[in-house]
Structure 1
């Protein structure tokens, strides 16, 4: 006889069960990618606008303001999500970078424009770690790399949209209208997120809302959260979570993941910000130079799908290391003034490897940290990596301002090789930590 009080069995935890969360996070990250790439897509037009007074050096500094805002946003988000919840903070992030885009559209001088980019950076920095954490929480364990790759295709689709806006709107009605398009997320994405995105079961559990935590977990076919898997709240718990990243099992792997993330984000944001202007300085026409940003992001979409499937089979660490090396080769080839058709092919292939090399660093955190430490580990890998995102645009601006674009390509290629070296050592470091003997008890 079946008990009337027995709850129905939850649906199986399959890839299909994560699709609603994946779709909503995909939309949010699409607008993230659009906002990040808008600056690079319109920079040649902004530099030609004498009324704005932007120079290559100040443009690079402003690019670093954006990524510095992202660094602060990423670190701050981790401290408030256990208090406010992931969904409200995600909505606030989208709203913040939409407001920043509006400030940029209205700016009459580099200082106000830089302020707008800093505000946008605060929202952009909080959004990406939240979406990654949400998708990885709701995804089946064996499909974590694939779902992460699918999510990150949206970033590059957004980059392609930004390039399309830069190619169509900026020459005809001005670069400001491209930034006005950056206000659309608050109109489109925010209502959908508020209505349809579930809260994280782990966060609900940590806040003591057990009924809602179990309800969301059952609805999406997730295992019900336990105390070991839920993020703990409070400053003391967050400090303990950071210390846990340096336990013997992960104390060497953690700084290697940080270094790989630093190199990856230096590449991603340096190239995204400066590729059109660097290619223009290398002798390509204005429209071709901006089109390269479209092509590299199209390669990024393909690369995410390839990397996700490949990493599920061979491991995220191996894929990330190989992808970093292939990125370095591609960036070095761009240093030469090749025929236009061949250059488009090289740019597309570089895009396939460039962006997914960094994303597979995020996926590799699953192999280092247990469930209870994964959110903190991912947050710090993302946050520390943002220092590379701060440095990349500044470096690109410094090289362009001094007419040393060739050194820019070389520096970005070296960052790719250093990223490969760091990530390939992660499994060895993790194994070494697990074999480390426990400290001897002190004599009484």
Structure 2
């Protein structure tokens, strides 16, 4: 066995452990995120907490606003205190917040619970992506991130079945009690998830990094000097704007805005909009399952294609296909054909956004990777706040049929922004004679 093959084999055990634990954490993230959209038709039908369609959209936006706060702060905090501690804290927070939703007696308390849950959800995802990126094989980095994100959609599928099997006999509150269950996973995460080697090295904790690497027969990151980076808290953020990087950073943020508007707008309102088209609750929840199954397939396909052709390029193509699929959902079609369109839309929609994260994560220096991904996710969360609110306003105005058209336009905008980013990077690589960002060139 060659030296490089031996190093790869020695690090595989640690990589599998990190990916496995992060996958489970993101599974619970997806369950908690999608559960509101899955139980929303039932809550509106029985007028739970006295909510109206407009208030339902506002409540959906509360969670995404919390995710905005969590994502914007998580990257900087994770790069300062450690990614493991932050992941444990985020899982604890969104689990306890779901309990608050379950016992709420009014819209205000329920909204507070969803906001707090959103902070935990928003902080977990970019941190988990950064953790996985630290240990992913370089040639399969986008695929590994795509594999991680399949957990998010597995959680969405689980939320549909929780709504189908638990809400009818036990009521909507029972669904949120199910979302408290991840608290049982917190001790496992705290005990077995290792800290990021890149974080330890960047903070000058070289002895801890060596001990961890020795324990799992892993390789230390290149350039491990043991010298902490002074002023890293804000320097990492400023690095996103140095030189010509500010244009690229803004393009990624704008693409993320449109992508998350689309993702969370559709995730929140898909069952309700489909039920408005005349489908029964069971059929509407089937759309949620198909949408998330498509997301799982899409993550694997997009990850492999991005490793070969470049994440921004694949993301732009996927957004174009998403816009077409979402627009078709506003057209009356036979049920079987609608199932196919929902599945294919899920394939392209969810992975298009994830490949933006892959681009930023793989192309960032390990020391400030969590900051770069966190801020890209966080700025995109403005779109995630706007999407559910927009759907609620259109439904309240009896313009639900315009919802899919509005979401399709958001997908088209993201296609343009990430497409321009890809062209800029390709021209930069051609000018320099070298690929500037590995996530772009594959």
> Can you list the C-alpha shifts for 1:273-314, whole angstroms capped at 9, x where unaligned?
110111111222222112211110011111111111111111
Deviation at 1:340, TM superposition (A): 1.2
CA distance in 2, matches of 1:230, 1:332: 53
- The equivalent residue for 1:306 is 301
Deviation at 1:433, TM superposition (A): 6.2
Deviation at 1:368, TM superposition (A): 4.7
1:79 partnered with 2:67: no
CA distance in 1, matches of 2:374, 2:115: 20
Q: How does 1:133-148 map to 2 (within 5 A)?
A: 133-148=130-145
Q: How does 1:237-316 map to 2 (within 5 A)?
A: 237-316=232-311
> Can you list the C-alpha shifts for 1:45-100, whole angstroms capped at 9, x where unaligned?
11122351011101111111101111111122223224432112111100100011
- The equivalent residue for 1:442 is none
CA contact (8 A) 2:142 2:306 kept: yes
> Can you list the C-alpha shifts for 1:124-144, whole angstroms capped at 9, x where unaligned?
111001100000011111111
- The equivalent residue for 1:168 is 165
- The equivalent residue for 1:354 is 349
Greater helix content: 2
CA distance in 1, matches of 2:416, 2:228: 31
Secondary structure of the 1:134 match is helix
Size of the aligned set, in residue pairs, is 425
- The equivalent residue for 1:440 is none
CA contact (8 A) 1:105 1:177 kept: yes
Q: Name the TM-score, length of structure 1 as normaliser.
A: 0.91
Q: Which runs of 5+ in 1 are unaligned?
A: 1-8, 437-444
Secondary structure of the 2:128 match is helix
Deviation at 1:220, TM superposition (A): 5.3
Q: Name which of 182, 194, 200 aligns with 1:198.
A: 194
Question: How much is the aligned-residue C-alpha RMSD, in angstroms?
Answer: 2.1
- The equivalent residue for 1:424 is 419
CA contact (8 A) 1:86 1:200 kept: yes
CA distance in 2, matches of 1:13, 1:159: 34
Q: How does 1:18-33 map to 2 (within 5 A)?
A: 18-33=15-30
CA contact (8 A) 2:80 2:233 kept: no
1:212 partnered with 2:208: yes
Per the alignment, do residues 13 and 356 of structure 1 end up closer, same or farther by CA in structure 2, a change over 3 Å counting? farther
Q: Name the TM-score, length of structure 2 as normaliser.
A: 0.91
Per the alignment, do residues 293 and 274 of structure 1 end up closer, same or farther by CA in structure 2, a change over 3 Å counting? same
Deviation at 1:17, TM superposition (A): 4.6
